Structure 1
């Protein structure tokens, strides 16, 4: 098995895990405050990774530490906006809007890395915006507050994907992931103590969500993402991550019985089409 194929498979597995946890997180945060949940979730992940790979942190260099802090802040904003947004929107819509980051990735690469944005990419953006409007606009054409928060989450995750692609090849990826998780844990803990009344949950459903997301969707997923993205580009990783909304919608249907309207389905189809289109070779790229 080639290194690239292995990376694709592992990133797809991560996507399945992320997509399947939207409903679980939504249910858990209806009981436990958002930042309290994130603090406990990332604390579990941090403890696991430090136990397994803590010795690597003894050899971390200043560059790795600095870029990890920056990416960690983007990661925190992504999860904070996503988890808070889930309190006001459905799991399936959250999954689709979060997936909008796949369209933003090539735009950010073009802006920050001076890469040329193709006509295909511009078309994909227009399709995504149309799909996003259809999915998130209510009958009175107003955007739901939770949808707006989730869109901010998509922007944050797009920055995270681009930054990982830029720095992962030159740093120790496990230490890179651990510091990111530490940043999210720290910021979540601070906000929880300032704005909430943090508690240790007693509900079994909440603990199931914390263990599931802490171990698999955080410790495992972020370690894999940081490691495997070192073998591929941001845009290639993004197209794999674009399948996350699909798994989110399937899980929401199977677990919660969420039914999407025809307009939402059409909007979701446009978004997925835009995600795929944004990663396809264009004539501009072929001439380059």
Structure 2
């Protein structure tokens, strides 16, 4: 299927920037939410609510996916769910700004994982990006001679997001993206629900927690995914991926505005290295799976 790069591309780019702003804003929102209720309970309710809304909009679409599509959706959902669990736990121990920039390193890990998993060569630009990103990660995360638990968990989440992106790029062209997304989001929700069930499911304890949950489920998941699907049909994958690198920038901005984060010179230098590494990867040549970068949300 060809990508129509028409006059609507400008609107698509603008709306995709709006989506990255929403995703960036969710970092302090999620940090606030998991301070009010258990991490797994929050994630289960967020993704099950998002799934219910998407099914309500197109109730017959999951039945059209087929057995193989369901299997691929389940595998992608497991990777995505694991990524969200470790990323959200990491947010309990680090700032929203640092979490946003480290999570953005999924764009650096994606071509490396694609090269290993799909046996495709990794060019020198990608290796240079890894080196630059490593310097940035050290500036953002090191406390003395070691990384904190929050930064380590967030880094693991970035790697798992990259695994999800590679799998999505390899499998998504075979299916209608809407039911494939429903299966993935439902898998994340059920996975978190099962993990949280032994301790009981705690609903949001107050109006602020309910606001956090609804904002993440409806804006950062359902709305953002639908806008991204529309936008990426009107621009190349490379252009979309470069626009998506605005997410950690917004995460840093909202971390300062909403969560009281301080952007020290060291933090700014580390953020600049991470962003530079992202652009090195995204502006380089595309090969196979890494040419089809696509995220559900952040």
- TM-score, L = length of structure 1: 0.90
**Offset from partner CA, 1:226-252 (integer Å, 9 cap, x none):** 665577776654433222110001011
Q: Is the 8 A contact 1:82 1:150 kept in 2?
A: yes
Q: Does 1:53 align with 2:50?
A: no
2:246 is aligned with 1:243:
yes
Deviation at 1:261, TM superposition (A): 2.1
- Mapped to 2, the partners of 1:221 and 1:125 lie a distance apart of 28
Asked if the contact 2:24–2:251 (Cα under 8 Å) also holds between the matched residues in 1, the reply is yes
Change (3 A) 1:147 1:176: same
C-alpha contact (below 8 Å) 1:37/1:210 kept by paired residues: yes
Say yes or no: does 1:87 pair with 2:101.
Answer: no
| Aligned equivalents of 1:107, 1:170: Cα separation in 2 | 23
* 1:195-214 equivalences in 2 (<5 Å): 196-214=199-217
- Deviation digits for residues 193-235 of structure 1 (CA, Å, limit 9, x no counterpart): 13x4421223111100110000111122334446655777766
1:225-236 alignment, distance < 5 Å: 225=228
Does the 8 Å CA contact 1:124/1:275 hold for their aligned counterparts?
A: yes
Runs of 4+ in 1 over 4 A off after TM superposition: 6-10, 223-237
**C-alpha contact (below 8 Å) 1:242/1:272 kept by paired residues:** yes
Distance 1:68 1:190, change over 3 A: same
Farther-moved stretch of structure 1 (184-193 vs 223-232): 223-232
Aligned-pair distance for 1:176? 0.4
User: RMSD between aligned alpha carbons?
Assistant: 2.2
Say yes or no: does 1:32 pair with 2:37: yes
Contact 2:136 2:272 survives alignment (8 Å): yes
Match of 1:182 in 2: 186
- Structure-1 residue corresponding to 2:134: 129
Alignment of 1:130-149 (within 5 A): 130-138=135-143, 140-149=144-153
The equivalent residue for 1:259 is 262
SS of 1:54's equivalent in the other structure is coil
TM-score of the aligned structures, taking structure 2 as reference length: 0.87
Deviations for 1:47-86, whole angstroms, at most 9, x for unmatched residues?
Answer: 1011111211222211211111111011101111111111
Quick one: distance in 1 between partners of 2:229 and 2:83? Answer: 16
Q: Which residue of 1 aligns with 2:158?
A: 154
User: Structure 2: which 5+ runs fail to align?
Assistant: 288-298
Compared with structure 1, are the counterparts of its residues 108 and 236 closer, same or farther at alpha carbon in structure 2 (3 Å cutoff)? Answer: farther
State the aligned residue count. Answer: 281
C-alpha change, 1:11 and 1:169, in structure 2 (3 Å) is farther
From the superposition, tell whether residues 154 and 226 of structure 1 become closer, same or farther in structure 2 (CA, over 3 Å): farther
C-alpha distance in 2 between matches for 1:7 and 1:109: 27
1:19–1:244 Cα contact (<8 Å) kept: yes
Given that residues 177 and 223 in structure 1 are in contact (C-alpha distance below 8 angstroms), is that contact kept between their aligned partners in structure 2?
A: no
Seen in structure 2, the aligned counterparts of structure 1 residues 248 and 158 have a Cα distance that, compared at 3 Å, is: same
CA gap 1:228/1:81 in 2 versus in 1, 3 angstroms: farther
Task: State the Cα distance separating 1:40 from its structure 2 match.
Answer: 0.8
**How big is each residue's C-alpha offset from its partner over 1:9-49, in whole Å with a ceiling of 9 and x where there is no partner?**
55433322111110011011001000000011112101101
Structure 1 gaps of 5+ residues are none
Please say which of residues 60-69 and 26-35 is displaced more in the overlay.
60-69
